[in-house]
Amino acid sequence: MTMVETRQRTDNLHAYAVFAGLLSCAGLPLYIHAPKVYVDSYGVGLGALGTVLFALRLIDVVQDPLFGRLADRWRAHRAQVVAVAVAVMAAGMVGFFAIVPPVAPLLWFALMLVLVFSGFSFLTITFYAQGVQKAGRLRSGGHLRLARWRETGALIGICLAALAPTLLAGVSPRPFAAFGVLFALLAVLAWWGMRGEWGTGALAPSQGFGPVLRDRVARRLLILAFVNAAPSAISSTLFLFYVDSRLGAAQAGGPLLVLFFLAAALAAPVWGRLAERLGARRVLLGAMSLNIAAFVWVLTLGAGDLVPFAVICLVSGAALGADMTILPALFARRMAQVAPSASEGFGLWSFMSKMTLALAAVTVLPLLEASGFDAQGPNGDATLRNLALLYAALPCALKLVAVALVMTTELEDAR
């Protein structure tokens, strides 16, 4: 089989998977690694980090919707603009992880994240908007088919980014610096694979934010995305602190993160196929129920309970695969109906998704610090109980709200 035949057979969806993996490496893993890196290496306080992360995300209140408009306006030159955004994001990641701050660490932290977040925002919006056009050219069920490739690639990217510093510690004296350089190399590879995809197909006329905000289903999906992502944002922000201090197993943090996201990556295509057969609502509710059960179980754990927590990582990771596959596919399908250009819609979607991480950082990190928690340890029983409540009880309550939203939102069948 020739290369052309292979590309036609897969519709180049593998390139979408690789590009999604690149974006995911610059998304959630930052919130996992950044607090540990800047607290342990540069002595920055948790409260200060949380405040800066939240302040940077406030920029997205203006920036993400603006990027949605710009992505639509520059559709004819999408390939060139994407190349610039990839370079900006890669430069920010290298500066963040590989360069010792030449100025105050907190200032450098903020400056590099401005580059990363700006590139990430524009690329995410453009990438998902391009996906709406791509899915329209695929055979029946194109949105879910593309979502399976895209979100599986994203989850594999998260796995690799979560594990990379641990693996690189054995071959590099500065594992996080090596991670930043490898990210830049992956950026080149991902850009090359997608170079022929940008702006292909007929371009739908832009209608601004109006159709998205006026559509009741689109508004509900945006709210659902925000509430449903909040539990994962909170638990991801606190994950390494929980494993280190509550379970007393600092060295297990990396492998457990990989187990969690690997379970999500393996489960994502399964959830997508189930949604095609059984309907989105039923499958989402089943996955959310698994997640709630996992959060409740976490509350019963203590020092040394690594095996039960590993099982929890498997269960909750698998449940995450449903969230990441089905909800973006439903929103993309809705955008194809109410706002086919999709850029503005995914500008709003990107903003809602990222604000969960920002709110998690500005809420739980200062609360944890105020409770007397010391990242360097030791911590008393009351402080560790507070850590467990923030890590599991708060996400459980938010997940119950998400369940109520799923039950009351008009979700189109993906069958």
Q: Quick check: 263 and 310 in contact, CB under 8 A?
A: no
**Over the stretch 139-178, which tens digit does the pLDDT of each residue have?**
666 667 787 788 788 878 887 887 788 788 778 888 888 8
Please tell me the distance from the alpha carbon of residue 92 to that of residue 107, in angstroms, as a whole number.
Answer: 13
pLDDT of residue 90: 94
Report the CATH architecture of 11-408.
Answer: Up-down Bundle (1.20)
H or E stretch covering 385: helix 381-388
Under the banding of pLDDT at 50, 70 and 90, the label for residue 207 is low
The distance in angstroms from the start CA to the end CA of the chain is: 32
Give the largest Cα separation in the chain, rounded: 63
Please tell me the distance from the alpha carbon of residue 52 to that of residue 92, in angstroms, as a whole number.
Answer: 16
Decide which of 62 and 273 is more confident. Answer: 273
Burial class for 203, CB neighbours closer than 10 Å (0-12, 13-18, 19+)? middle
**What is the average per-residue pLDDT within 95-123?**
88
Please tell me the distance from the alpha carbon of residue 3 to that of residue 313, in angstroms, as a whole number.
Answer: 39
Please tell me the distance from the alpha carbon of residue 286 to that of residue 272, in angstroms, as a whole number.
Answer: 13
**Over the stretch 297-341, which tens digit does the pLDDT of each residue have?**
999 988 888 999 999 999 998 998 888 888 877 777 777 676 655
Please tell me the distance from the alpha carbon of residue 139 to that of residue 150, in angstroms, as a whole number.
Answer: 16
The lowest-confidence range among 196-200, 201-205, 239-243, 387-391 is 201-205
Tell me how crowded residue 153 is: count the other CB atoms within 10 A of its CB.
Answer: 25
Strand, coil or helix: 61: helix
Please tell me the distance from the alpha carbon of residue 336 to that of residue 340, in angstroms, as a whole number.
Answer: 4
Q: At what angle do helices 142-168 and 175-193 cross, to 10 degrees?
A: 150
Under the banding of pLDDT at 50, 70 and 90, the label for residue 83 is very high
- Alpha helix (H) residue ranges in 99-215: 105-137, 142-168, 175-193, 210-214
Please tell me the distance from the alpha carbon of residue 235 to that of residue 242, in angstroms, as a whole number.
Answer: 9
Please tell me the distance from the alpha carbon of residue 48 to that of residue 286, in angstroms, as a whole number.
Answer: 38
Residue 199 falls in which region: left (phi positive, over 0), alpha (psi -120 to 50) or beta: left
* The token pair that represents 346 in the structure block: 């995914």
